[in-house]
Structure 1
Amino acid sequence: MRNNSFEISVILPVYNGSRYLKESIYSVLQQDLNNFEFIVCDDCSTDDSLAIIKKISYENPGKIIILENEVNKGLFGTLNILIEKSSTNLIHLWSQDDIMKPDCLTNCKLFHNRYPFISMSYHGVEYIDNDSKQIKDIKNDGTPEIISSHLYANISIRWGCIPGNISNVTLNRFFLKKTGIFNDKMIVSGDFDLWTRLASISSIGKNNSTLIYLRIHQEQLSRSFKSIYLRVKEDIPIHSQIITMLSENDQIKALRWWNWKTQVSYYNDYIFLKRKGLPLEAKKLHNLLQQNFNLYSLFIKWLIIRILRLIKLEIGFYKKILNR
């Protein structure tokens, strides 16, 4: 039975996050919303992350629930543990690197109160660097506040994972009961997979308020060269599912984009890994592409796009493909 005394839960998976962890946790504790639940789970960190969590909890009694994994579960396995432990209908995902603005939780709660029929929402972010200095903003791209399943599919098949992160996402537990939680077998794209399952059964929300500072640094898995192969491997079936969410006419257009843009980007990743002197990673990706696509055709399409890019005709070419 769920606890109705809290309005929203914040769940934070931690693994070797000591560098930014204190700042991240305190930004949650300093929210202007008082009635929220904060659960932190350490995933067998080998640094002093757990000690930092316990020290902050000791100094702020009753504010943090601490969980400790006995074996390393990975990001999505740990998120699943935290979701199951949380007690509210609204669940805000959080990251050990980032900083919440003081009104983040209040704003997310009000957004979901306004749109109770959405399965999840994501909000705007501002980017910061290693030293917490602002480096760039995300500009409003014109996406509406309510994103239907069809619109989600049209956007995602072209641009990938819409929220881009986990720390600007709020989940509605009611819909998680229908889709299930994260696929803990995934390493990189478990969030993209869950967002797609949620969007397939309900509209999702885009909250245009910028409510967190999202940190960009080289230690993140998503910025590691070794994550490229995993991302491509995990994204291929997700994109296949997204295409099925579209109408027959839009499926034809999406497949053109998939063939000429997405698949070519995968081949470009392969070339990138070779040029970076990572032959093992490049070979793994090469084999994956060979298993899923016609490699010769992929090379020809990649070569055509490279030539068009050199003569600055690439954008017009893509527009022509989509409007055929």
Structure 2
Amino acid sequence: MPFFSVIIPVYNKEKYAQAAVKSVLNQTFTDFELIIVNDCSTDNSRKEVSKIISEQIKTIEHLENKGLSASRNTGIKNATGNFIAFLDADDEWKPDFLATIKSLISTFPEAQLFATNYEELYADGIKVIHNQKLSKLGNDFLVDDFFELNLGKPIYFPGSLCVKKTVFDEIGYFDEKITYSEDIDFNIRTNLKFKLAYSTKALVTYTMFSENQITNSSVKNKVFPDLNQYEIYTENKFSLKKYLDFNRYIFARKFKAQNDLERFQKVTSEINFKNLNYKQKLLLRLPNSIVNLIFKTKSLFLKKGFMVSTYD
């Protein structure tokens, strides 16, 4: 039985999938199996991945396209390791990612969730590391309040997360009905119940551009998480209430940018604006033409190596 089961869902990522797989096989900690779930790719993803030969690789083929959550769930259900790590097919791990997760598992036995920081890779080759202020809490630490720490750039994303397999027995799998921001729903369910151990090392490269990347695609017909179902937990956890409103702001901004005014009005009506900062409130009220100009200016700053954010 391997220590880790690593799951890579693949759907039309022929330019990136090989690099993702190789970044797993190049880990310094080698006690793992790699489960690749091909979700009916229509490009050459399957062909590219099949060029890599390793006894550690198991490939599963979906007979129909089921989506990212279903692909992750397929991997989880076929995993034999006690710890499940995820990597999307357009992202990459640094060689010591699994070794660092193994160290977190040994150091913090009370935790059942484990994650590291990450770097964002943009189309022009610029890499940005966020959450560096967390180093004041130590290089490795047990997170006291996940929701409070995630009122800005997430401290981890699925590609930098590892979950003890027994967690899925208690809280279930990824919600396959959700087709946009499914990780937010999963993060709420897991972090309400389990402890998270965290390393501030940026050990994952998160690609901010690629084919079929859902964060850059249209939200039309996408199913978003129902954040209202978690309001019942906010009475004794105010940080969760702020986290819900922060993500409603993110959703509202997306709806507004794509002129989905019905859903924009619905989600903004659910926000307690006391939980947003002045920049976030302003962006929701400005016309799209001005917001687009602001984000174009933000992109110019990024090319100069400066990150301007509405999260601070």
TM band (smaller chain): 0.7 to 0.9
Of 136, 145, 166, which residue of structure 1 is paired with 2:158? 166
| 1:32 counterpart residue number | 28
**Cα shift readout 1:44-93 (whole Å, capped 9, x = no counterpart):** 0000111112221xxx2413101000111110111011011111111110
- Relative to total residues, which structure has the larger helix share, 1 or 2? 1
Of 213, 225, 232, which residue of structure 2 is paired with 1:234? 225
Which of structures 1 and 2 has the bigger CA Rg? 1
**Cα shift readout 1:254-292 (whole Å, capped 9, x = no counterpart):** 758867x66566554444333xxxxxxx144246448x6
Going from structure 1 to structure 2, the CA distance change for 1:244 and 1:77 (only over 3 Å counts) comes to: farther
Of 147, 167, 173, which residue of structure 2 is paired with 1:153? 147
**Pair 1:127 & 2:128 matched:** no
| 1:18 counterpart residue number | 14
**Pair 1:87 & 2:80 matched:** yes
Alignment of 1:34-53 (within 5 A): 34-53=30-49
Root-mean-square deviation (CA, aligned residues, Å) is: 3.6
- Cα distance in 1, alignment partners of residues 248 and 185 from structure 2: 18
- Equivalenced residue count is 280
Secondary structure in 1 aligned to 2:16?
helix
| 1:74 counterpart residue number | 67
| 1:181 counterpart residue number | 173
- Specify the code of the residue in structure 2 equivalent to 1:170: C
Please state how far the C-alpha of 1:175 moved relative to its aligned partner: 2.2
- Cα distance in 2, alignment partners of residues 174 and 303 from structure 1: 41
**Cα shift readout 1:32-51 (whole Å, capped 9, x = no counterpart):** 12221111010000001111
- Specify the code of the residue in structure 2 equivalent to 1:306: L
Alignment of 1:178-217 (within 5 A): 178-217=170-209
Secondary structure in 1 aligned to 2:198?
strand
**Cα shift readout 1:142-188 (whole Å, capped 9, x = no counterpart):** 2742123xx123344x448542x210111111222211111111112
- Cα distance in 2, alignment partners of residues 115 and 304 from structure 1: 36
| 2:234 counterpart residue number | 243
Structure 2 regions of 5+ residues with no counterpart?
A: 287-310
Runs of 4+ in structure 1 deviating by more than 6 angstroms, as ranges, are: 256-259, 301-304
1:98 and 1:215 in contact (8 A); partners too: yes
1:120 and 1:170 in contact (8 A); partners too: yes
- Cα distance in 1, alignment partners of residues 279 and 50 from structure 2: 55
Going from structure 1 to structure 2, the CA distance change for 1:177 and 1:63 (only over 3 Å counts) comes to: same
| 1:273 counterpart residue number | 258
**Cα shift readout 1:192-225 (whole Å, capped 9, x = no counterpart):** 2122111111211221122122211164111224
TM-score, normalization by structure 1: 0.74
2:7 and 2:84 in contact (8 A); partners too: yes
- Specify the code of the residue in structure 2 equivalent to 1:17: K
Going from structure 1 to structure 2, the CA distance change for 1:173 and 1:104 (only over 3 Å counts) comes to: same
- Cα distance in 1, alignment partners of residues 279 and 134 from structure 2: 33
1:8 and 1:37 in contact (8 A); partners too: yes
- Cα distance in 2, alignment partners of residues 16 and 304 from structure 1: 34
Going from structure 1 to structure 2, the CA distance change for 1:64 and 1:153 (only over 3 Å counts) comes to: same
Percentage of pairs with the same residue: 21
Alignment of 1:300-315 (within 5 A): 305-306=281-282
- Specify the code of the residue in structure 1 equivalent to 2:199: N
- Cα distance in 2, alignment partners of residues 257 and 92 from structure 1: 24
| 1:279 counterpart residue number | none
| 2:3 counterpart residue number | 7
TM-score, normalization by structure 2: 0.76
Moved more, 187-196 or 18-27: 187-196
**Cα shift readout 1:109-168 (whole Å, capped 9, x = no counterpart):** 11112112212122011222347x3422224232742123xx123344x448542x2101
Structure 1 regions of 5+ residues with no counterpart?
A: 275-281, 311-317, 320-324
Please state how far the C-alpha of 1:305 moved relative to its aligned partner: 4.0
